Each structure stands twice: as structure tokens, then as C-alpha cells.
Amino acid sequence: MIDRLSPRRVRGVAAVSASLAGFAACTGGTEYPQTTFHPVTQYGEMLNAVFLNTFWWTIGILVLVLVLIIYVVFRFRERPGMPRPKQIHGNTQIEILWTIVPAIIVVFIAVPTVQTIFETQRRASEEALTIEVIGHQWWWEFNYPEQGVRTANLFYVPIGRQIHLQMHSADVVHSFWIPRLGGKRDVVPLARAHEGQEPRYNHIVFTVDSAGTYSGQCAEFCGAAHAIMMTTAVAVAPAEFDQWVASMQHAPPPPPPAPDTVAATVTDTATVLQAPAGQPALDPVAEQGRAIFLRSACVACHAVSNTTAQGRVGPSLTRFGLRPTVGAGARPNTQENVEAWIRNPRALKAGTLMPGAQEAAAGFPPTGLSDEEIRAVATYLRSLN
Amino acid sequence: MTAATATTAAHPPTSTGLDMWKLGFWVFLGSETLFFGSFIGTYMVYKGESVVGPEPTEILNIPLTSISTFVLLMSSLAVVIALDALQRGSRKGAIFWILAIIVLGLGFLGFQANEFTHFYHEGLTLQTNLFGSTFFVLTGFHGAHVTVGVIWLFLLWVDCLRGRLGPHNAIRFEIAGLYWHFVDIVWIAIFTLIYLIN
Amino acid sequence: MSTVEAAVTQPHAGAPRRTGVWAWMTTVDHKKIGVLYGTTALFFFLVGGLEALLIRIQLSRPENDFVSAETYNQLFTMHGTTMIFLVGMPLAVAFFNYIVPLQIGARDVAFPRLNALSYWIFLIGALFLNSSFLVGAAPNAGWFGYANLTSPQYSPGLNVDFWVLGLQILGVASIMGGVNFVTTIINMRAPGMRLMRMPLFTWMAFITSFLIITALPVLAVALFMLTFDRFWGTLFFNTAAGGDVVLWQHLFWMFGHPEVYILILPAFGILSDVIPTFSKKPLFGYAVMVYSGSLIGLIGWGVWAHHMFAVGMGPIPDAFFTIATMIIAIPTGVKIFNWIATMWGGQIRFTSAMMYATAAVAVFTIGGVSGIMHATSPHDLQQTDTYFVVAHFHYVLLGGLVLGVFSGIHYWFPKVTGRMMDEKLGKLAFWIYLIGLNLTFMPMHWIGLLGMPRRIFTYSASLNLESLNMLASVGGFITGIAVLVLFYNLVRSLRHGDIAGPNPWHAPTLEWATESPPVEHNFNRIPVVHSREPLWLEAADVEAAARGEPDPNIHMPPSSYWPIFTAVGVNLTFILMLAPMWWAPLIGIAWTAVGVIQWAYEPVH
């Protein structure tokens, strides 16, 4: 009979061991690329510190409550022949105690929390690197106003320097979240600001301590392809950052096409930034692709720096070859996938606003590119690294 | 809404002594306070935020609206007099004064209709700007409430004419009067916040 | 539905005795309406549960294609909308309807026809909302419908139209119900039933009803604004015209936060009735339980923006809402301790009802704890919009609300049907449910903090969250099995359960003085009470009044078809906005007017 098992004890023990096992698991590291437990910024660490404070207080209360319940369940079970229990209605002193003690605990939780709120929302310093982040359905735009760089989905930051993300949305509410860099912030479509009025940007301010690649994604439901709106931050030494900026401003001629591997899982940033030594001749297919790209409808939406393609409706494709995925996370950046994307984007990412070869979208007519043209264009774009 | 009250011996007395319908109606008016309060709050939040004109100062006619506000206020006075007449058993007085409420209420609605039409011709519609959207929706809902009140009072007036409304069931009218006063108070708030404070 | 019908006393001549479907369609009896609400809500519980399982199948593996993105977005939107508006709230109202008049010694609610109207508006509205599936256009912008995703520009289809109209309809029903119960509880208590003698369940019903009448109008306003934007081109959430999408969030959450207390306080009330009964001692700290419930309701109006910590309100509002949210943990915590103290020193009888109630206290506390973690707003910027939040609210809802409701079902089933539920099946379902719920939602704390956002139809394999998600999905199915066992128990016990008698649990409150099920007029004579536990302290008098010599002057309101007629009109007013002719909703308004006027002039004596 189920009643005769020690049900509460079984449950209690299971709960406690599960928690401990789980806690051990959660200290696992970068096998969880979007973990919040291993921040690489002081900002992220401050958030975790205030969380841990709350965590220990509240877990303590939880354990107390669970232990009490388990105790009560066993100790005060009805037994045959026992008289009716004492009809107690309350105990003012105890009730005052268990009101005051939680109130005090709330103070211990609230004070560091409020301190952290103000510390983490300080304005960025004058020396910060400002990056404008614009959320779109369903990709991320990054502008570096000082450096004159515009890119999409993948962006670089120097370590050791304060970064100021100044963010808004071009359409609906999104949320920018790279967990290892810290907390998220919504990006909100700006109301038309009156003259002299600051538009309501949202801000994230942080300094990255260790080089690496940190991935994230949109965290506010924004429509059909909300789930496929990834972003990647690449944190590098300042010198390499400057090189990247330079390369984005003056894109080198495309090197020979790489073998068909994923262009950048980007765990090794050095490989990524290796400029091919002594620029070999341009691959004819890539050259062809560039010509087709520059004369097709592509340039209505897309831009590649140092070319005549300066469209700003869609993601910039400068150094597209660096990006881990096509379509902001739809598929890994391989020749086959990029071709498939250009042919029919909605087959890879339902709802996306880019027209395909045969299919119109968002008011844009089909591109009409043939399969061969698509192959060439894909080769060209992937060669931009 | 206006069922006969529980005054027969078969119904146990209420816990507070308050008539059931009257209490229920007060509770309902509580929810209506939040309803209008949210619209008024939205108006205040969007005040001054319209990107294009017309602006309130350009188009609102304070003198004219003061008159319509006065008309509505007088209709509330008529409610008080009508209720007193009804409770005293003065059938003629009740018939006259309930009709007065209706006429004054219709007058207010007439002013509103005139105002809306005038604004439309001046280029302010629901879709013109934030002022248009918030103004018309807020005052439109208010006007709809006035309209419902007028219909309700008309039905009570007919009952009064037919001798079916008297001191024994004056509560039915009292509740309609309560509703009317509420609608008037909401208008005072709207008039103050939207017309006067600019 | 129960086939056990109490003898109906219809004291007037000329009122024909109605049976069958027509009797149910025209009933104004709070007990029948309670059964209607409860049965309908439990049906939608299965619908919402199915939606949940489809979601969990899709998420059991990364980059899965069990359902498309669009279907998934509809599923999660309807799962939330259904569980909150078609299950959680109607279940609370089902209990309010059946139990509150009995607990305060009344024969019905203050406005019986209005009560029926609420139900029929709810039913037709619920069917309308779900009919969207039939046209492949179920709502797909989340149960919270954030502007400006829901604006005509970004959601041009019918999906969001169904949502705004359906929710508006349901809101009307709720507000009317709130008015009804506030009036009932203030004005229809039996002699001697002072406010501070009412059972805690009725107290929580009272506070919840205040929350309903204050919070639902704010939602109605937000929905009207969105409706006008979508149908008539207003600019409320049009950013190009200066509209502010954050205004939607403020309005929605000003409704939304009281809403979660609307969902949980009734369950708290059930726990406060069940636990003393089976501990065989009174509720510990009755007055404090009343005050803390009231405080939760009141402070609950001041914490709404804790749903908006990521939207950038600035540090001062963030700090204010952080502190207010932490403060509300205090009255909540007090309740937990009072329940434990009620059990302390008792002689606890672990029926299914009591097991559910005890587990509810424990599981709710787990959810409450993650709530305080959310209140730590800087870290909430990591937690919000991830599965950590999904874990939190499912723990408080499945833990507090559902376990509480299941406890209430087992507790009051004998009163409603006259039969006992099977205890073995009850305990079996309990254990399966407890295991299932923990297996489903405990992993989600990790899933969220390891980087998986909410409301995504799939996730990358590179996140390495497949095993945790699979665990949660398996747990979901186990939870589903438990629900099926419970439902089987319900249905089977209707016919085969042991006969219950008036007070099978030897419970203290007034509803247990009546027959099981009660006669139509509830009490043969309205009892006079002198205590909080009348059936423990003055049983003989109270039972004699309830079941003894009947009062010759009992008057029950007659049945009426005007509520269901009017409910059709109210629904048409909104539904016909989908029709191409601009004047179509006027048909609904006219229909409603006819219904209301006929109703007003209908004789009630």
C-alpha cells in the first residue's frame, strides 16, 4: 500500500539530493555557451553576487519550511485512540516573531540589491567604446559611430575597455542578451522624439575581462522567427580589435574560397583574423558572384563596405565569411546553406522578410537569380572573411 | 439591472441594511472608476506627445464646453429633485423632473455631437494624432455611458407615466440616479483635465 | 454532471418544473452554475494540457520540427491564455459559486441571473477564442500580447483579433462575477456571521473579487486601445505617431500582477479550510490570515513593474518595485508558517485532500523562493524571459493553485455530489502528479540560467540543453497521466463513490451542515452562528436549522432564459467586429439591449 512507504521522507531525500546534484552540475563551465554562471565581465559577476546572496537566504528559508513540513507530517499524524488535539487559535508572540524575522531577512536581501541596481546602471564613462545596437525582425545591427563600422549579428569588442551598448529597435520590442557578458536589456522602438529630446535608448555598460566568443540571442518574443535571432560577441585584445575595425572599413580582396567547412565556430580568434599572406588571385566564381551581387536586387537591402552595395534595410554583409551562421542563427555558414538561404530564405527561417529567387516578400519582388548565379553569389559572400 | 428589490418578507434582511442592488451598483461603479481612470491616465501620458496637430489649445472650445458641462450638472440637480419628488409620492413632480434629466442629457449629447462634427471638419479624427485617438476614445466612451443613462431614464420615465414607479420602488430610480451622478463626476474630471488644464 | 438532483422547492404556482438541458441553460442556482463553471474549466484544463504536451514534444530535442514555428507560437500563446482565463479563473469562480453562499449561510448569491450571465458569456467567449484554431488563426503573440508586435502593422492577420476580442468578452464576465461576490459576501451573511467569523475561503473569495473588479477594467482599457488601433486606425501604440509601447506593458501588468493574486488567493483559501479540518484544530492565527491576504491583495497593486525590469525604466522605479516585491513576500511567508502551525500539534488525517494541501504549501514555497530571486532585479536581467521564469510561475501555479484546487476538489466533491471520491486513486494521482510536476519544472531553473530564453519554438544543439529539456518533457507526460487518473476518479466516483452524508470529514464550516448535495434552497432555515467553527462548537443548533423543520416562507428566484440570451448579445457585439460591415457589432448591442430590458422587467417574485 502506498500509505505505508515513508512518502514524505522519500520525497524529502530526493529533493535534497537532486538540488545538490543539480548545483554541482550548474558549476559546469563553457560546455554551456550561454550559461549565466560564468560571466566574463564585472557587470555579470555583480549580478551573480547579488543573486547568491538572495539564493542562500531563500534556500535557507525553503529548507526550514520543508524540514518543518516533513517533521509535522510524521510527528503529528493521527494515531488511533488519541484525543482531540488542543484547539489552539494562535500565538501572538510567535506570529510577531515570524513576521519580524522575514522582514529582517528582506532587509538583508534588499539592501545589496538596491545598491547593485544603482551601481550597474551608472552612465558609461567618456572613454567607453559606444556601439549602437539596433534590433530588427530578426537580426541584430551593430554600428560603431566612432569607427565608421556597420555590421550585423557578429560583432567585435576589445577586452579591458568599457563598452557602452546604446540600443533601440527598428520595429518591435526585442531583448539583447549575451548571458556571459551580463544581463539583458529590451530594445524598444523609439517614439518619435520631439526636438531637443533624447530618444529613449536602453543601455548596457560592461568591460570584458577575457578574450573569447560569447553567444546570445533575442529574449523578448518578437514574432515568427524570434527563436532564430542569434548574436555573437567576439572579445579580442585591443590590437586585434583595431585590426578588425580596419578590415571592416577597408575589406581586403577575397582570398581563395575555403573548403566547405563551417566558416567560424570561432573558438580560435587568431585563425579568424589571419589575413591571407600575399593575396592570391581572386577565385573566378567569387569574382563572378561579386559582379552579380552588385548588379542584382541584393544591394537594395544589403551593404558590403568598399563596394557600391550600401543598402541599409537588411544586415550588412561585410566580412560575411566570419559569421558562424546564415540568417542570424538559421543554419551554419556553409556553401550549401548560404545557397539554400538565397534561393528560399523562408524554408530555413519561417517568416523572414528577405525575398527568395522565386518568392516575393515584404513588398520586395523575387530576386530572379538562377541556381548558378546563386552559387556564385554565395561563393563571393563566403569569401568575404 | 433594475429588477424589483428584495423588500418582501420572504427575503432575509441584508447584513448591512443596504439595498442589494444599491450595494452592487456601488461596487460596479468602483470598477468603472478604474475603467475611466485608465483612459484618463493614458490621455495624460500622451498629452503633448502628438507628432502632428491639431493641438488641444487650437481646437477645444472652452466656453462652449463650459455650457455643456453646466447642462450636465443641471441634469444631476434634476436627478436630486426627481428622486425627492418620487419618494414624496409626487407623481407629477417625478414625471416632470425625470423628463428634465432626459432633456438635459440629450442636450449634453447634442453639444458633444456638435463638437465631434466640428472637430472632424477641422481635421481632427481618431486617426489624426495621439490627441485625436485619446480624446475621441475617452469622450466617446463617456458619451456612450451618457447615452445608456438616457435610455435607462427614459424607460423609468415611461414606468412613471404608467404609474409603475412610486415611493415603494423608488430605489430603482435612485440607482439610475447614482449612475447618472457618476457619469457627471467623470465628466467633471474630463472637463478639468482635458479642457481646462492646458 | 451529477445525476443526483435534490428536491427542488418551487413555491409558486405556474412555474413549470424544468429538467434536462433547458434546466441547465436557464438555471440561476449558484450550485448548478458552480458545476457548469467547474466542468467547463476542467475541460479546458485538458485542452491547455494538450497544448503544453505538444510544446514539450517540440522542445524535447533541439532543432526539432514536430511543429512549425507558427504553430508553436500559437500553442504557447493559447496554452497560457487558456490556463489563465479558461481554467484558473473559472475554477476559482466555480468554487466561489458553489461554496461561498453555503459558507455564509445564504440561499444564493446577490444577483443570481447576473451570475448565470457571467457563466454564459464565459462559455461562449471561450468557444469563440478556441474557434480561432478552426480557421488556422489562433492567437500567436503571447498571452500578454506586447505592443507593438500586436499592432496591425506587425500582426496583420486574424490571430490577434481573436485574442483582443476573446479576452475582452471574458473580462466582462469576470467583472460581473466580481461585483456579484463582493455584494454577496457583504450583504448576505447569516445572522451572527460577522466578517471575522467567515471561513478563510470566503475571505479569500472576497479579496479576490475586489482584485477582479479593480484589475480587469485596466485590462479592458488596454484591450480597447489595441482593438481601436487594429480596427479603426487609432494611434495608441503607433510609435511613428508618438505612441509608447511601454504604456501597453504598464497597463497590462497593472492588470497582470493582481491577476496572479486572483489566481492564487482562492487556492490559499482552500488550503486554509482544508488544513484545519484534517488537523482537527482551528486555523492558526485566523486574524493574521485575513490581514495578510488583504495586504497581499493591496500590495499586489504596487508591484506590477517587476515584470518590466528589463525594459529600462531607470534605477529609481527599478528600486521601488524591487522593494515592494520583496515586501509582499512577508505576508505570504506568514501564511506558510500559519499553515504549518495549524498542523503542529494536530492529529492529522492524510486523506487525498490533505495530501494535496500539504504538498501545496511545500511546492508553493519553492515557487515563492524563485520569486524572491526574481525580485533581486539586477540578476532578474539574467532570469527574465528565460525558462527560470517559466519554472517560477509553474511552481507557484501548479504547486499553489493546482494542488490547492485538487485538494478542494477532493474536499468538496462529497458535498457537491453526495459521494466520496476513491482514496486509493486519489493518492495514486497525487504521487504521480507530485513526481511529474517536479520532474517537469525543476530542470527549468537550470535550463533558464544556462541560457535558454522563453517562447522559442526551438533551440540550438550547441546550448547542450537537450537532456534537461528531455527530462522536462518526460515529466510533462507524467503530469498528464496524473491528471487523467484524477479525472477518471472524478467520473467513476460520480456513480460508484460511497455515499457521503452531510459532513464526511467532520469539518467545521457551515456548508457541512447541509445535505450532500444541498437542497436547492441550501438551508431549511437560515442558521444563526456564534463562532468561526459552527460545526465544531454549535453543531446541534446549526444542523437543526439547516436540515430540520423548513421555513415556510422560502423564496427562490425562478429560472430565466434572459441571461443566456443576453450573453449571446454580449458575445455578438465583439465577435461581429470581425464582420466586414462596420455596423455589424450594432446587432450585438441591440440584442444585448433587448436581453437586458426584458431581464429588467421580468418578474422575480
Of C18 and C252, which is predicted with more confidence? C252
pLDDT of A282 higher than 70: no
Task: State the Cα–Cα distance between residues A381 and A385, nearest whole angstrom.
Answer: 8
Which residues of chain B lie closer than 8 angstroms to C599, CB-CB?
A: 1, 3
When pLDDT is averaged across residues C129-151 and rounded to a whole number, the result is 97
Question: How do residues C300-314 score in pLDDT, each as one tens digit?
Answer: 999 999 999 999 999
Task: Output the nine-digit C-alpha cell for C198.
Answer: 467567515
Confidence of residue A271 (pLDDT cuts 50, 70, 90): very low
CA distance to partner chain C, nearest, from residue A354 (Å): 15
Which residues of chain C lie closer than 8 angstroms to A111, CB-CB?
A: none
pLDDT of A265 higher than 70: no
Among C214, C242, C555, beta carbon nearest to B34: C214
pLDDT of C112 higher than 70: yes
Q: Do C455 and A72 touch (CB under 8 A)?
A: no
**A 157-196 residues with CB < 8 A to B:** 191-192, 194
Q: Counting every residue, how long is chain C?
A: 605
What is the model's pLDDT at position A283? 87
Question: How do residues B45-75 score in pLDDT, each as one tens digit?
Answer: 999 999 998 999 999 999 999 999 999 999 9
pLDDT of C477 higher than 70: yes
What is the model's pLDDT at position A194? 67
**Does C17 touch chain B if contact means CB atoms closer than 8 Å?**
no
pLDDT of B5 higher than 60: no
What is the model's pLDDT at position A306? 87
When pLDDT is averaged across residues B3-28 and rounded to a whole number, the result is 76
pLDDT of A261 higher than 80: no
What is the model's pLDDT at position A251? 52
Q: Report whether C288 contacts C338 (CB < 8 A).
A: yes
Chains touching C (at least 3 CB pairs under 8 A) are A, B
Look over chain C and give the mean of its residue pLDDT values, rounded to a whole number: 96
Of C8 and C584, which is predicted with more confidence? C584
Residue whose entry in the numeric block shows the C-alpha cell 508553493: C364
Our CA angle for C143, C145, C151, nearest 5°, is 155
Chains touching A (at least 3 CB pairs under 8 A) are B, C
Q: Do C232 and B126 touch (CB under 8 A)?
A: yes
Confidence of residue A6 (pLDDT cuts 50, 70, 90): low
> With pLDDT > 90 as the criterion, what percentage of chain C qualifies?
96
Q: Do A84 and C347 touch (CB under 8 A)?
A: yes
When pLDDT is averaged across residues C365-393 and rounded to a whole number, the result is 98
What is the model's pLDDT at position A272? 36
Compare all CA atoms of chain C with the CA of A201 and give the residue at the minimum distance.
C312
User: Please, is A271 exposed, middle or buried when counting C-beta atoms within 10 Å of its C-beta (0-12, 13-18, 19+)?
Assistant: exposed
Q: Report whether C555 contacts C11 (CB < 8 A).
A: yes
Q: Do A36 and C450 touch (CB under 8 A)?
A: yes
Q: Do C602 and B3 touch (CB under 8 A)?
A: yes
Q: How many CB atoms sit inside 10 A of residue A281's CB?
A: 9
CA distance to partner chain C, nearest, from residue B179 (Å): 15
What is the model's pLDDT at position B10? 46
pLDDT of A262 higher than 90: no
pLDDT of A84 higher than 70: yes
- Indicate the Cα dihedral angle C99, C102, C106, C110, nearest 10°: 10
What is the model's pLDDT at position A29? 75
Question: How do residues A200-241 score in pLDDT, each as one tens digit?
Answer: 899 999 999 999 999 999 999 999 999 999 999 999 999 999
Sign of CA dihedral C190, C196, C197, C199: positive
What is the model's pLDDT at position A257? 54
Half-sphere exposure of B152 (CA within 13 A, CB side): 20
**A 74-113 residues with CB < 8 A to C:** 76-79, 82, 84-91, 94-95, 98-99, 102-103, 106, 109-110, 113
Residues near C604 by Cβ (< 8 Å), separated by ≥ 6? B3, B4, C557, C558
Q: Return the percent helix, strand and coil in chain B, to nearest 5.
A: 75, 0, 25
- Comparing A264-278, B9-23, B177-191, the range with the smallest average pLDDT is A264-278
pLDDT of C139 higher than 70: yes
Confidence of residue A27 (pLDDT cuts 50, 70, 90): low
Task: Output the nine-digit C-alpha cell for C19.
Answer: 429538467
Question: How do residues A85-137 score in pLDDT, each as one tens digit?
Answer: 999 999 999 999 999 999 999 999 999 999 999 999 999 999 999 999 999 99
**Does A37 touch chain C if contact means CB atoms closer than 8 Å?**
yes
Q: Do C449 and A226 touch (CB under 8 A)?
A: no
Compare all CA atoms of chain B with the CA of A197 and give the residue at the minimum distance.
B49
Which residues of chain C lie closer than 8 angstroms to B4, CB-CB?
A: 603-605
Q: Which residues pair with A150 in a beta bridge?
A: A143
Question: How do residues A52-67 score in pLDDT, each as one tens digit?
Answer: 999 999 999 999 999 9
What are the C-alpha distances in Å from C329 to residues A61, A107, B65, C234, C343? Answer: 12, 12, 49, 40, 22
What is the separation of C-alpha C22 from the centre of its chain, rounded to a whole number of angstroms? 27
pLDDT of C8 higher than 50: no
What are the C-alpha distances in Å from C562 to residues C113, C116, C566? Answer: 8, 9, 6
Sign of CA dihedral C541, C546, C548, C549: positive
Question: How do residues B99-113 score in pLDDT, each as one tens digit?
Answer: 999 999 999 999 999
Sheet strands (E) in chain A: 129-136, 139-144, 149-152, 154-158, 162-169, 174-176, 185-187, 202-207, 212-217, 230-236, 325-326, 331-332
Q: Report whether C304 contacts C250 (CB < 8 A).
A: yes
Question: How do residues C431-451 score in pLDDT, each as one tens digit?
Answer: 999 999 999 999 999 999 999
**Does A239 touch chain B if contact means CB atoms closer than 8 Å?**
no
